[in-house]
Structure 1
């Protein structure tokens, strides 16, 4: 299967749809509960009055909508990777890996704010990677600041992706405080108008309270069912093999590619560690890790030598996702 997706064949789009369907049809059949979708954080409650289209009711409808979103994001991510030549050759592996990882846990299968924020992460990466060849990044930094603010309105932990903007400016360009300031101004612009709207609705106190979760202490432990750790075993193995492969080829790559993977690693760390801001804790937060992880996985599978090993490893990952996700313990 991996070998088939290594080529940039338009027929792979159909196979992506098949894999997306297979990885979700079981949950649609066994789940009887209704699901709801909280579109926005409390910061946007005065702006948005969720209607029935945001709360589809049936799990099947919710998963169908989430599947459409995942499919679109997979194609966008694949275009991003090929456009910036991150893997050295055109391929459909990023789309395959994203669809696979987006089905890792049951909470990943339904609409959620982190899933929508992945659109913003992909859009941000398009602009961040362009810093390397840009003569002036102030306008792009301003746009990115606004994008991060919009992401914060949808999902509060997204605020920490402002660190990704700062790191990108340091990695790709000579340090210029004006460019960082442009990002800050872009971020503040959105919340300035939002604060004015809250003030006009005599709800300024609510606007202040939305920032209180940022003071949450980092948890000492995370309560996750044991089978969730089991499904992560192939994920950890593939990720470890990817970092080994990256280390072997790191200095053989172009400077822009090396810097891009450094930024992806920073994005992965930010997405992984910002979960504590959102209480109560939900596994769907880690959907934010799917974008950088998909690129890392693609790099390993594209350059792995032993076909029987990497094909078996991917098959193990896919089977474990289906088994542990669709069986109740």
Structure 2
């Protein structure tokens, strides 16, 4: 099966759709509504209320939307990776990996602020790859900061991703203070615009609901969550190690892009620690960049039998955790 996803054939999208239904079928059988634990942002609250007016609290609807978002994110992730040639050839392995590893834990398949932020982070990821080639990157830097500011309105701890932006600037470009200031202005701008609108429309009380942030150490009591985290980190480390040899033969821009993805993983792991109430559900933010390293594991293992065995063991683990635990 890995052989089919290794190919960059556009017809693989049909196989990817079937694969999505396979690994997500359990969640469609046992749907959930949406995550609302006090950590969500103001825009997320408004979006959920609007959807509830349309369809009520239909678990199947919200789960279907979540799975559709995951599927669309796989296509966008694949397009970005293939466009910037992070692998020697076009491949759908990152898409397969993202779908498979988000299936490790039920909370990663529920409509949530983190799932919406992942849509924005795909655009941020694509934009950061442009920083290296631009003579002047002030517009790109402002746009990235602005996107992260909007992400903060859906899920305020996502503001921590500004660390990713600043480190990306250090990796991709020589230090220019003006670009750092512009990045921070872009980050603040959505908060300023929304605050101004709420003040003018006499809805100032809603401003108190924007900075929902705290700090808590991760306490995980569910063994399924432990399993999902351990498997994800194992494949991330393995993919990172297998990347070292081919990394030397890559273009400088590609090497820097991979370095940014490592920082992306580290920051995404830290972001949920700033929740009002910690939940492993928000670690779906880290699964997005981790899936690239998982894909590198399957890409590097050229022996199809070994790659298929690893894939079916992981798929078997997913099925057991879903249906038989």
Q: Following the alignment from structure 2 to structure 1, what is the Cα–Cα distance between the partners of residues 41 and 130?
A: 33
Contact 1:94 / 1:298 at 8 angstroms: preserved in 2? Answer: yes
Query: Once the two structures are superposed, what CA deviation does each residue of 1:82-122 show, in whole Å capped at 9, x if it has no partner?
Result: 00001121111111111112222111122111111111111
Q: Secondary structure at the match of 2:175?
A: coil
Q: Which residue of 2 aligns with 1:254?
A: 251
Instruction: Report whether the alignment pairs 1:301 with 2:298.
Output: yes
Q: Following the alignment from structure 1 to structure 2, what is the Cα–Cα distance between the partners of residues 212 and 305?
A: 46
**By how many angstroms is 1:45 displaced?**
7.8
| 1:241-280 → structure 2 map (5 Å cutoff) | 241-280=238-277
| 1:33-182 → structure 2 map (5 Å cutoff) | 35-36=33-34, 38=36, 41-44=40-43, 49-52=49-52, 57-182=57-182
Q: Secondary structure at the match of 2:130?
A: helix
Contact 2:153 / 2:210 at 8 angstroms: preserved in 1? Answer: no
Query: Once the two structures are superposed, what CA deviation does each residue of 1:211-251 show, in whole Å capped at 9, x if it has no partner?
Result: 362xx3441x5123123323445434322321221122332
Q: Secondary structure at the match of 1:279?
A: coil
**By how many angstroms is 1:28 displaced?**
2.6
Instruction: Report whether the alignment pairs 1:12 with 2:9.
Output: no
Distance 1:36 1:208, change over 3 A: closer
Q: Following the alignment from structure 1 to structure 2, what is the Cα–Cα distance between the partners of residues 182 and 50?
A: 34
Query: Which is worse superposed, 299-308 or 194-203?
Result: 194-203
Distance 1:38 1:46, change over 3 A: closer
**By how many angstroms is 1:78 displaced?**
0.2
Which ranges of structure 1 fall in alignment gaps of 5 or more residues? Answer: none
Q: Which residue of 2 aligns with 1:291?
A: 288
TM-score relative to the length of structure 2: 0.91
Q: Secondary structure at the match of 1:132?
A: coil
Q: Following the alignment from structure 2 to structure 1, what is the Cα–Cα distance between the partners of residues 278 and 54?
A: 22
Which ranges of structure 2 fall in alignment gaps of 5 or more residues? Answer: none
Contact 1:145 / 1:185 at 8 angstroms: preserved in 2? Answer: yes
Q: Following the alignment from structure 1 to structure 2, what is the Cα–Cα distance between the partners of residues 93 and 18?
A: 15
**By how many angstroms is 1:259 displaced?**
0.6
Q: Following the alignment from structure 1 to structure 2, what is the Cα–Cα distance between the partners of residues 192 and 79?
A: 33
**By how many angstroms is 1:75 displaced?**
0.5
**By how many angstroms is 1:281 displaced?**
2.0
Q: Secondary structure at the match of 2:27?
A: helix
Contact 1:27 / 1:326 at 8 angstroms: preserved in 2? Answer: no
Distance 1:178 1:190, change over 3 A: same
Distance 1:193 1:295, change over 3 A: same
Query: Once the two structures are superposed, what CA deviation does each residue of 1:154-191 show, in whole Å capped at 9, x if it has no partner?
Result: 01121011111111111111110111111111122211
Q: Which residue of 1 aligns with 2:222?
A: 225
Q: Following the alignment from structure 2 to structure 1, what is the Cα–Cα distance between the partners of residues 292 and 53?
A: 32
Query: Once the two structures are superposed, what CA deviation does each residue of 1:266-290 show, in whole Å capped at 9, x if it has no partner?
Result: 1111110111211322222011112
Q: Following the alignment from structure 1 to structure 2, what is the Cα–Cα distance between the partners of residues 128 and 169?
A: 8
